[in-house]
Structure 1
């Protein structure tokens, strides 16, 4: 019996959430050919921002990594809504993690690990490992500390 991404998430005590409603004039994900591009996902849980603030000020690196994990889970929900089944993901190609940062903050890669590790846990090493950028920014929508977008190859 094959283990599905949803089975792996359940083993982690997680379930795929409903797709986060767009905050402006865009869609959660777009497929072109065999690629799915997600819009940036902020750490929304049941329609509310899980935490606000900047890394290095109101938000710790550990909290940021957990928030990035929530963002990645929301991105997976957007991918599933676009293609119908996460088992259709052949490879996560690229992940971009935006980190709202205090000017002196330099641990953006550690925050990004929250998203990257979740993707590997849910999809496995071969499918979930990806190229990544973790970028410090001045601010994000709703004063979110983290925003994650990804590109996934699907069959």
Structure 2
């Protein structure tokens, strides 16, 4: 495997999207010293949500597997926001992932959904992708998105 996240993106065939336009009064990412904090990123694909609704088991709900794919998309959108400030993902270490899952009240699989984000970060960053994480179930997310992910990353000196 080639070293560095930028090379790994190419190896994995992943092209980061354009930074998603904010849906309210905030910035997609802000740098403070050696850290970049992203806003919560929704699973936008080409400017639109591919699906909406609550995550759970049963008819009319977003499946946990589909939600994990959406969490992956959220993480890639967050990386695009980071790269927009840093110019490159080389020298980036993932510190913290916070994920929110719009959940059916009986659904308790939020950690599994967030594995979609954590797994892709590990594939891209290797050991530098090992992070702390929170997976939170919520009643509703902006635009009725099923998942939202935010990152805290540390930049090399």
Q: TM-score scaled by structure 1?
A: 0.94
Q: Are residues 1:107 and 2:109 paired? A: yes
How many residues are aligned here?
Answer: 153
Q: How does 1:63-74 map to 2 (within 5 A)?
A: 63-74=66-77
Match of 1:138 in 2: 139
**Alpha-carbon distance in structure 2 between the residues aligned to 1:137 and 1:4:** 35
Aligned to 1:20: 20
Kept in 2: contact 1:6–1:15 (CA 8 A): no
Distance 1:100 1:39 in 2: 17
Give the structure 1 partner of residue 97 of structure 2.
Answer: 95
Cα distance in 2, alignment partners of residues 9 and 42 from structure 1: 20
Deviations 1:101-129 (A, max 9, x none): 000000000000000001011111x2101
Deviations 1:37-91 (A, max 9, x none): 00000000010112111101520010010000000000000000011110031x2
Q: SS of the counterpart of 1:113? A: helix
**Aligned counterparts, 1:19-58, within 5 A:** 19-56=19-56, 58=61
Q: Can you give the 5+ residue segments of structure 1 that lack an aligned partner in the other structure?
A: none
TM-score (norm. length: structure 2)? 0.93
1:2-40 Cα shifts (integer Å, max 9, x gaps): 533233223333211100010000000000010100000
Assess if the C-alpha contact under 8 Å between 2:2 and 2:8 holds in 1. Answer: no
Moved over 3 A (4+): 1-4
How far apart, CA to CA, are the structure 1 residues paired with 2:109 and 2:2?
37
Give the Cα separation in 1 of the matches to 2:11 and 2:108.
32
Listed as ranges, the gaps of 5+ residues in structure 2 are none
Counterpart check, 1:81 vs 2:79: no
C-alpha RMSD of matched pairs (Å): 1.3
